């Protein structure tokens, strides 16, 4: 089982899908990472060699992709900023109400 940025990736999934289990990486970002690392999308995670896993780790670091804790804290800081400036979205967050126009 491959472990990247503290996340155990599911071994029976294709590489493109397996990388999306990391917070902050979606399908398009996963494809960019695999292209840069020179790995096919269709290779399953269990078939990755240690060199390929290392290449993926270094590619994520080189591309400067914010993942896991760094990405989560960035989102929380953005929400806190909205609440501090008192805009409509910030007030909705503060009150625990829907922010994106859903009816209540």
Q: What is the pTM of this model?
A: 0.83
Same domain, 9 and 34: yes
* Average predicted confidence (pLDDT) for the chain: 93
Domain encompassing residue 61: 3-65
- How many structural domains does the chain have? 2
Same domain, 51 and 61: yes
Instruction: Tell me the pLDDT tens digit for each residue of 13-37.
Output: 999 999 999 999 999 999 999 999 9
Q: Which two tokens stand for residue 19?
A: 């990388």
Q: Which residues contact 45 (CB under 8 A, 6 or more apart)?
A: 1, 2, 9, 10, 11, 12, 13, 14, 15, 18
Task: Name the packing angle between helices 88-95 and 69-85 (round to 10°).
Answer: 110
Report the CATH number at residue 82: 4.10.910.10
What residues pair up with 4 in beta bridges, in sequence order? Answer: 7
Do 47 and 15 lie in one domain? The reply is yes
64 vs 86: CA distance, rounded Å:
31
Looking at the structure, do residues 60 and 95 belong to the same domain, yes or no? no
């Amino acid at each position: 089982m491959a472990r990247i940025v503290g996340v155990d990736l599911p071994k029976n999934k294709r590489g493109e899908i397996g990388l999306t289990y990391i917070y902050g990486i979606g399908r398009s970002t996963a494809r960019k990472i695999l292209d840069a690392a020179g790995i096919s999308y269709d290779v399953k995670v269990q078939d990755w060699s240690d060199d390929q896993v290392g290449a993926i780790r270094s590619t994520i670091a080189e591309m400067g992709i914010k993942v896991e804790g760094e990405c989560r804290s960035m989102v929380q800081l953005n929400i806190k900023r909205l609440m501090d400036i008192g805009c409509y979205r910030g007030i909705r967050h503060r009150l625990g109400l829907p922010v994106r126009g859903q009816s209540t």
